Amino acid sequence: MKKKLLGLTVCIALAFLWMAAKGNDGVITKENGMYVINTTTLATNVEGYIGPTPLKIYIQKNKIVKIEALKNQETPKYFAKIRKQLLDQWNGMTVKEAQKAQVDGVTGATISSDAVKENVKRGLDYYQKHK
């Protein structure tokens, strides 16, 4: 009985270790050879003018391929400016370059811009620690 219990305990422990090593936390995944960082749960306390501004950050070979805004409650007119003027500014940068970059926000959407920049910062920091 003790051997069965010990074997079961070891199996459960190995399963947990395997899941942790795989990064199965929903924040970092792999898609088409790219790491994808989803800041939805990573930056829950980062808010724009109206609420959270979650992003998906696509990274391949340690370079940012693109950043996508996920569903949010920001004013569509102002957030469209952020999509057009802000999100592409990190494209092509290495992760380290992007972490140091001083990216300008969008005039008229300063609070939302700051929230997006903080989401990018947290996403890249998470990537560096968990890739």
Res 1: pLDDT: 61
| Mean pLDDT of the 37-43 span | 96
In this predicted model, what pLDDT tens digit does every residue of 59-117 receive, in sequence order?
A: 999 999 999 999 999 999 999 999 999 999 999 999 999 999 999 999 999 999 999 99
Confidence of residue 15 (pLDDT cuts 50, 70, 90): very low
The residues facing 129 across adjacent strands are: none
Confidence of residue 20 (pLDDT cuts 50, 70, 90): very low
d(CA 77, CA 109): 10
Say if pTM beats, i.e. exceeds, 0.85: no
Q: Three-state SS across 4-59?
A: HHHHHHHHHHHHHHHHHHHCCCCCEEEECCEEEEECCCCCCCCECCCCECCEEEEE
47 against 5, higher pLDDT = 47
| Listed residue (56, 28, 113) closest to 79, CA to CA | 113
Do residues 36 and 28 lie in contact, with contact meaning Cβ atoms separated by under 8 Å?
Answer: yes
Q: What is the DSSP letter of 94?
A: B
